Amino acid sequence: MVDFIGIERIRQLVAGRGTARFIEELAREIESDFLRWSEFEKSPRHASHSQVGVIELMPASDGRLYSFKYVNGHPKNTAVGLLTVTAFGVLADVETGYPLLLSELTLTTALRTAATSALVALHMARPDSRTMALIGNGAQSEFQAIAFHHLLGIRELRLYDTDAAATNKLVANLGRLRLPGLAVERCRSTAAAVAGADIVTTVTADKRNATILTPDMIAPGMHLNAVGGDCPGKTELHADILRRADARVVVEFEPQSRIEGEIQQLPADFAVTELAEVLAGRARGRAAQSEVTVFDSVGFALEDFSALRYLMRIHQQQRGGERQIDLVPDLEDPKDLFGLLASEPVTAPASLRLRA
C-alpha cells in the first residue's frame, strides 16, 4: 500500500497547521535540503512544449529518496474554466524502487513556491522591507502575500493585474484572511504599484517574452522576486534590469535557469549565483543597501522533493494518516504477478514434463 494525499487531504493538512505556519515549516525543509546541495542528483526538468502550453517532469534524488513531479502550464486554460497549472508527484525509496507516497502537488506547488520566494527574500531583500508590489494577482498571489507577510513582515501590499477580476478575487481573499497589520492597495498600473516598493513580486502567466518590469521602474535597494518566467520564451523582466551594474542575480539551478529563466535573454557567460551558495553563506545575497537583487525563480525539483518529504511526515503524524491506495501489488510470491489475475491458483498440467 502507498500513502496517498489528495485534494481533501492536503486541505486538512494545511488547516491543521494554518497556511502561514505550513509555509514557514516548508521553507525550513527546503532550506535544509539546499544546504546539502552536493548530495543531490540534479538535472533540468524534461519539458514537452506545445503551442498552448508545456508539460514537464521534474526529478530529484539524494540517493535514499527519489521524487518526481508531473506539472503542466497552460495559460489559456482559465478561459475555459480550467487551472493554468496542475501537478502531482511521487516520493519513492531508492533501495527498493517502491513508491512511498503519491500526492497532489497543485496546491502544494503554490505553497512551496511561496515558501521558496520568502526564504530567498530573507537572504536578499533589505531587512527593513515592509512594502511589496504584487504584479499578477492570479492563482499564486495569495500564497505569496501570506508568505511575505508572515516571514518578512510585509505591511503594505500594492496590487496590479491586467485582469481586474483577478485583483478583486485577491482583495476578497485577503479580506477574509484578516492578516494583522496588512494594508492592501489596488493600483492602476505596474508602474504605480512598483513606485516606492521595497520588494516586487511578478507572478504573471502569459507564455511570452513579456516586459512586466522596465529599467525606469527599478529603484536602488529593491529586491525583485521574478516568479512568472519559467519556460523558454517566457520572461517578465527587461534584460537591462539584469545588466545593471548594481544588480545581483540568484538562480536555483543554473543549467535549468539558462534555458527557462530571465537569464535566457542574456549571454551564457553572464554571471549568476546559485541559491545553495547563498544559503550556505559562501556567497552574499546582498552586498549593499543600494544593491538591486533579483531572484530569477523558475521552480526546481529539489523544492518538490522537500515538499513531498514534508507532506509524507505530517500526513503520517496527523489523524487520518492511514489513507493509502493499492498502487503496487502485494504478492505472496513476487515471481507470480499473473496470479493476481487468476480467479484460483494456477497449477501446471500433470502431463507437463521438463526436458533433460
Kindly state the average pLDDT of the residues 30-38. 98
Query: CA dist 31 to 118, 157, 247, 280, 307, Å?
Result: 11, 26, 24, 9, 11
pLDDT of 288 above 60:
yes
Instruction: From the options 3.40.50.720, 3.30.10.20, 2.40.170.20, 1.10.10.10, give the CATH code of 114-299.
Output: 3.40.50.720
Q: Which CATH class is domain 2-107+303-330?
A: alpha beta
114-299 shares the fold of 2-107+303-330: no
Q: What is the pLDDT of residues 223-237, one digit of tens each?
A: 999 998 877 888 999
Q: What is the pLDDT of residues 40-96, one digit of tens each?
A: 999 999 999 898 888 999 999 999 999 999 999 898 998 999 998 899 999 999 999
* The pLDDT value given to residue 356: 52
Show which residues are catalytic.
230
* The pLDDT value given to residue 75: 85
Question: The sheet that has 46-49: what strands, in order across it?
Answer: 46-49, 54-61, 65-73, 87-93, 99-104, 2-5, 324-325
pLDDT band at 134 (very low <50, low <70, confident <90, very high): very high
CB atoms within 10 A of CB 188: 8
Q: Are 243 and 254 in contact (CB under 8 A)?
A: no
Q: What is the pLDDT of residues 297-323, one digit of tens each?
A: 999 999 999 999 999 999 999 866 568
**Which helix (H) or strand (E) is 197 found in, with range?**
none
pLDDT band at 167 (very low <50, low <70, confident <90, very high): very high
Sequence spans of domains, the chain:
2-107+303-330, 114-299
Q: Are 186 and 174 in contact (CB under 8 A)?
A: no
Cα–Cα dist 205/210, whole Å: 10
Amino acid at 127: P
Cα–Cα dist 155/198, whole Å: 11
Q: What is the pLDDT of residues 172-213, one digit of tens each?
A: 999 999 999 999 999 999 999 999 999 999 999 776 778 999
